[in-house]
């Protein structure tokens, strides 16, 4: 479909023709004020005969109206309308590795008492599905080039409107910008790219919920946009005409009822020489409390992800989430232990969620995925009693190495472009701080940068480590060794070895992330220092959006010059039954906490080790939880959590200095 009226002119003519305001000045006079982004949506809706509320609602559920600097999403989608071009994205150069000491491959099982369970997705998208190539379809409908649709947000909006109109036409449904949005349910459902009726309906339902509730925000480009709440009862009968397959939803699937979820079980199989995969059977939470939900990204396409988790020689996780529509597949029951976090202690006490995508290349996540993930996590957290905070809802990049030799090899997903603040808003657990009159007494600070405007100058998203990444919204705050923007970045001796920290996107040696809470070490009017990996690390308040808080901190007991730090909270040797190999309580040699330092405290934990070493559970102590008397305190040590012995520290309220 080709436009007959120039777009910018159409936006102005539309405002006049629809009478959108008394006393509209002549077009010539208005030409001095360029159309707003709100006008761009209205013009595209008029041009292709789509109700503007439907266009805005679909765009919000795809991108929250952001342009994301013309970079692709985790499923190869571009722009405010998330037009997908996976074949093009697959051809891009991969992200760079950090300029640090060589890191060994992470053992996803994270149990050094057994052979490594190492898996590494090939990272190659499979762009055959129509859902992953809507941008070429939009190019054909509009006559615009693929490059223009990828890089020009206004063109991208037009492409999305053209797709919606074509879907409505193929359904023989009512057409035109002035039609009732209720009649567009089928086209909206198809826009999701979902291949099942349930997933398409879940996407469409979220769009119509957005229309009902309304929304207003300022985009990453600084455009103020709004969608006025309106009552719409969609005609869901249009969904049937899409002819999508219907999922069987088996009894016992552990998903909330209002999201699209299927069961694709990971195999539990033996394959010789005492080896087996790809998870361990358990009886959680009856046998052992589940403390964590770990957020990952797959570094692979949806098709590749499902292929990998079905391989008994590979590793496992509990759920996979698809980017284009938020659809979920459950692979491992909550009672069982997945091999995903690279730390057996964390694995035994966690549920792992893999989100389709890439932490750097194609690094923004769709709103559909965020919403579905948040619904699932909230459902699991309420069912299992997991607090909705950043001490318990953590990224893979927050999981500590188990012992000294594994620290450098730990993964860094979901990366700096995951929007933690928005995610916790969706979890209905927003980050909060003290009111201003009390803020001066706070001894803790929660990092909460403004995601839309916080755009660190990372490098190495594609190709060489020195290649600048597009300036994109980020949850990460950069930490320096002194309160000066020219000061060197702080250094993580465990992750980066002897080399300096860098701004390579995969190098998180000098970063804090939204929602993480740290002990305050020092404050000035413009800067704050936190205790971080045994040193003071400074951030500029204007960058970090600090929320001042109270809570508890740990510090070394009087008389102790320093104390060790641990990557797992295992019990003391005396707790192990006869015949069960004792797991070493081994500190991380790269780190210590010295007298005078303090760290934000998390839960107090009794030392535990889940013994699971044989396929049939016949080994000594197998499928039992070994508990000791020794207690640990979880702390926010750096970008990652860590553990200290309760006997080594004073646990006290955090107060100002």
Residue 126, domain member (yes or no)? no
How long, in residues, is the chain?
Answer: 657
- The answer to whether residues 179 and 279 belong to one domain is no
For the ranges 160-174, 243-257, 505-519, 525-539, which has the lowest average pLDDT?
243-257
Instruction: Work out the average pLDDT over 22-40.
Output: 65
Residue 418, domain member (yes or no)? no
Task: Say if CB 512 and CB 518 are below 8 A apart.
Answer: yes
With a pLDDT cut of 70, the percent of the chain lying above it is 91
- The answer to whether residues 184 and 319 belong to one domain is no
Residue 329, domain member (yes or no)? yes
User: What is the tens place of the pLDDT at every residue in 606-618?
Assistant: 999 999 999 999 9
Q: How confident is the model at residue 125 (pLDDT cuts 50, 70, 90)?
A: very low
User: What is the tens place of the pLDDT at every residue in 143-155?
Assistant: 999 999 999 999 9
Handedness of CA 242, 246, 247, 250 (dihedral sign): positive
Quote the pLDDT of residue 95.
Answer: 62
Quote the pLDDT of residue 114.
Answer: 76
Q: Which helix (H) or strand (E) holds 189?
A: helix 185-191
- The answer to whether residues 580 and 628 belong to one domain is yes
Quote the pLDDT of residue 370.
Answer: 97
Q: Is the pLDDT of residue 629 over 60?
A: yes
Residue 496, domain member (yes or no)? no
Out of 411, 433, 454, a domain closes at 411
Question: Distance between CA 182 and CA 160 in Å, rounded?
Answer: 18
Give the end-to-end CA distance of the chain in Å, rounded to a whole number: 66
* Cβ burial 253-279 (10 Å sphere, 16+ → b, else e): ebbeeebbbbbeebbbeeeeeeebbbb
Radius of gyration of the chain (CA): 26
Quote the pLDDT of residue 362.
Answer: 53
- The answer to whether residues 258 and 348 belong to one domain is yes
Is the entire prediction scored with pTM above 0.75?
A: yes
For the ranges 179-188, 229-238, 360-369, 635-644, which has the lowest average pLDDT?
360-369
Out of 411, 427, 455, a domain closes at 411
With a pLDDT cut of 90, the percent of the chain lying above it is 79
| Mean pLDDT of the chain, nearest integer | 90
Instruction: Work out the average pLDDT over 612-626.
Output: 95
Residue 135, domain member (yes or no)? yes
Instruction: Work out the average pLDDT over 443-450.
Output: 97
- The answer to whether residues 231 and 349 belong to one domain is no
Quote the pLDDT of residue 123.
Answer: 41
- The answer to whether residues 161 and 15 belong to one domain is yes
Q: How confident is the model at residue 32 (pLDDT cuts 50, 70, 90)?
A: low
Helix, strand and coil percent figures for the chain, each rounded to 5: 25, 20, 50
User: What is the tens place of the pLDDT at every residue in 235-266?
Assistant: 999 999 999 999 888 888 999 999 999 999 99
- The answer to whether residues 262 and 198 belong to one domain is no
Quote the pLDDT of residue 13.
Answer: 35
Comparing C-alpha atoms, which of 179, 143, 235, 170 is closest to residue 49? 179
User: What is the tens place of the pLDDT at every residue in 193-243?
Assistant: 999 999 999 999 999 999 999 999 999 999 999 999 999 999 999 999 999
Quote the pLDDT of residue 89.
Answer: 82
Residue 494, domain member (yes or no)? no
Contacts 24+ apart (CB under 8 A), 521-524: 521/597, 521/598, 521/657, 522/657, 523/657, 524/483
CATH number at residue 314: 3.40.80.10
- The answer to whether residues 219 and 264 belong to one domain is no
- The answer to whether residues 192 and 301 belong to one domain is no
- The answer to whether residues 295 and 371 belong to one domain is yes
CATH number at residue 233: 1.10.530
Residue 500, domain member (yes or no)? no
For the ranges 58-67, 123-132, 367-376, 433-442, which has the lowest average pLDDT?
123-132
- The answer to whether residues 193 and 297 belong to one domain is no
Residue 30, domain member (yes or no)? yes
* Cβ burial 606-624 (10 Å sphere, 16+ → b, else e): ebbbbbbbbbeeebebbbb
* Secondary structure (3-state) at 83: strand
- The answer to whether residues 277 and 339 belong to one domain is yes
Tally of structural domains, the chain: 3
* 532 bridge partner residues: 535
Domain extent at residue 589: 554-653
Quote the pLDDT of residue 124.
Answer: 39
Out of 242, 266, 288, a domain closes at 242
Q: Is the pLDDT of residue 459 over 60?
A: yes
């Amino acid at each position: 479909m080709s436009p007959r009226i120039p777009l910018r002119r159409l936006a102005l003519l539309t405002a006049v023709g629809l009478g959108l305001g008394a006393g509209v000045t002549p077009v010539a006079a208005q030409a001095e004020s360029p159309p707003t982004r709100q006008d761009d949506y209205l013009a595209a809706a008029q041009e292709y005969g789509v109700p503007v509320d439907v266009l805005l609602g679909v765009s919000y559920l795809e991108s929250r109206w952001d342009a994301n600097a013309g970079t692709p999403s985790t499923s190869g989608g571009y722009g405010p309308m998330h037009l997908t071009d996976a074949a093009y994205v697959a051809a891009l150069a991969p992200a760079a590795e950090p300029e640090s000491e060589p890191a060994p491959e992470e053992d996803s099982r994270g149990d050094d008492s057994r052979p490594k369970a190492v898996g590494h997705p090939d990272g190659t998208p499979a762009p055959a599905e129509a859902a992953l190539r809507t941008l070429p379809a939009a190019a054909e409908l509009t006559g615009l080039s693929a490059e223009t649709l990828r890089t020009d947000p206004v063109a991208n909006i037009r492409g999305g409107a053209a797709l919606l109109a074509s879907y409505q036409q193929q359904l023989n449904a009512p057409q035109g910008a002035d039609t009732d949005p209720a009649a567009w349910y089928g086209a909206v459902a198809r826009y999701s790219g979902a291949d099942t009726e349930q997933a398409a309906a879940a996407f469409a339902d979220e769009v119509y919920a957005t229309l009902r509730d309304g929304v207003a925000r300022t985009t990453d480009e600084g455009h103020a946009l709004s969608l006025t709440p309106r009552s719409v009862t969609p005609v869901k009968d249009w969904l049937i005409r899409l002819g999508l397959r219907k999922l069987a939803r088996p009894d016992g699937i552990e998903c909330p009822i209002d999201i699209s979820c299927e069961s694709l079980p990971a195999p539990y199989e033996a394959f010789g020489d005492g080896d087996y995969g790809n998870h361990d059977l358990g009886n959680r939470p009856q046998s052992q409390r589940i403390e964590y939900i770990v957020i990952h990204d797959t570094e692979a396409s949806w098709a590749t992800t499902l292929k990998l988790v079905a391989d008994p020689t590979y590793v496992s996780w509990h759920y996979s989430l698809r980017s284009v529509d938020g659809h979920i597949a459950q692979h491992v029951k909550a009672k069982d232990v997945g091999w995903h976090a690279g730390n057996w202690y964390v694995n035994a006490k966690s549920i792992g969620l893999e989100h389709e995508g890439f932490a750097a290349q194609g690094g923004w996540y769709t709103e559909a995925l965020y919403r579905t993930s948040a619904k699932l996590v909230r459902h699991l957290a309420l069912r299992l009693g997991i607090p909705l905070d950043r001490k318990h809802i953590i990224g893979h990049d927050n999981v500590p190495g188990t012992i000294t030799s594994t620290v450098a090899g730990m993964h860094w997903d979901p990366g700096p472009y995951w929007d933690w603040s928005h995610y916790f808003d969706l979890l209905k657990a927003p980050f909060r701080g003290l009111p201003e009159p009390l803020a001066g007494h706070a001894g803790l600070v929660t990092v909460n940068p403004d995601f839309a405007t916080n755009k660190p100058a990372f490098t190495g998203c594609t190709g060489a480590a020195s290649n600048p990444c597009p300036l994109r919204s980020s949850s990460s705050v950069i930490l320096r060794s002194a309160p000066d923007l020219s000061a060197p970045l702080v250094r993580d001796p465990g992750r980066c070895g002897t080399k300096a920290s860098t701004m390579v996107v995969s190098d998180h040696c000098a970063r804090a992330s939204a929602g993480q809470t740290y002990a305050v070490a020092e404050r000035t009017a413009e800067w704050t220092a936190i205790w971080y990996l045994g040193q003071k690390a400074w951030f500029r308040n204007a960058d970090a959006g600090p929320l001042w808080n109270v809570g508890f901190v740990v510090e070394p007991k009087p008389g102790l010059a320093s104390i060790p730090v641990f990557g797992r909270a295992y019990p003391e040797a005396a707790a192990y039954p006869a015949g069960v190999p004792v797991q070493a309580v081994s500190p991380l040699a790269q780190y210590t906490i010295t007298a005078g330092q303090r760290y934000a405290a998390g839960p107090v934990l009794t030392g535990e080790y889940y013994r699971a070493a044989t396929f049939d559970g016949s080994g000594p102590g197998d499928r039992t939880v070994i508990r000791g008397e020794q207690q640990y305190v979880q702390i926010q040590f750096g970008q990652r959590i860590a553990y200290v012995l309760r006997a080594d520290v004073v646990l006290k309220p955090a107060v100002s200095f």
